[in-house]
Structure 1
Amino acid sequence: MSGTVVPFAHHPDLELVVDPGLLRVPEIFFDGARLDRPIAVVTDDYVRAASPRVAPIAVAS
């Protein structure tokens, strides 16, 4: 998908990492390849499907 950040790692050499803060929200939203079409996913479902490594990558503001 051109122009978007996909929520899954589609290449075997690319590790998917998410911040632990992601696990504190009930659902997350992704760009559906159009700015007017976000996709909502239950966070637990996303983690189960994507199997990301959870590690601190964001700084709280």
Structure 2
Amino acid sequence: MVAPVFTNEELEGLRCLPEIGREELFRFFTPTPADVAFESLTAVDILRELNATGAR
């Protein structure tokens, strides 16, 4: 049995939102170069950077 993710009231609220066009989807969900760089970091890279800066 699957539990519902949203209540009926929440679904109605979501249905009231305006439609999103293709250009808006691309603009808001296309990663920036900074996003890509951040996502490519590994845990080892992050720990190495933290150790180099002395962050705790």
The verdict on a shared fold, with TM-score over 0.5 as the criterion, is no
Considering only CA atoms, is the larger Rg found in Structure 1 or Structure 2? 2
* TM class by smaller structure: under 0.3
More helix by share: 2
More strand by share: 1
